[in-house]
Amino acid sequence: MLGSAPEIIGRAGWMDSALLAAAGIPTVVFGPGGAGAHAVVEWADLEQVQRCSDVLIATLQEFCA
């Protein structure tokens, strides 16, 4: 759907996914690119927001089918 393999990266920080992983539930953190998280100026690339939405909707449709 994306036209290329996703980039696998690591970042410092904490997310709720840590609680799921600690409980033995596999997690994936997925979202659009941007910059300035939690800063005065925070932004996301709108094209990536749309692509992320498309992937999430397709995943839900397949999972719930």
Residues 38, 35: Cα–Cα separation, whole Å? 9
Average pLDDT, the chain: 88
Spell out the residues 6+ positions from residue 2 whose beta carbon is closer than 8 angstroms to its own: 51, 55
Tell whether 10 is covered by a domain: no
Tell whether 49 is covered by a domain: yes
Tell whether 44 is covered by a domain: yes
Tell whether 21 is covered by a domain: yes
Contact 34, 46 (CB under 8 A): no
State mean pLDDT over 16-38. 89
pLDDT, position 1: 65
Kindly report whether the global pTM for this prediction surpasses the value 0.75: no
Q: Supply 29's token pair.
A: 């953190």
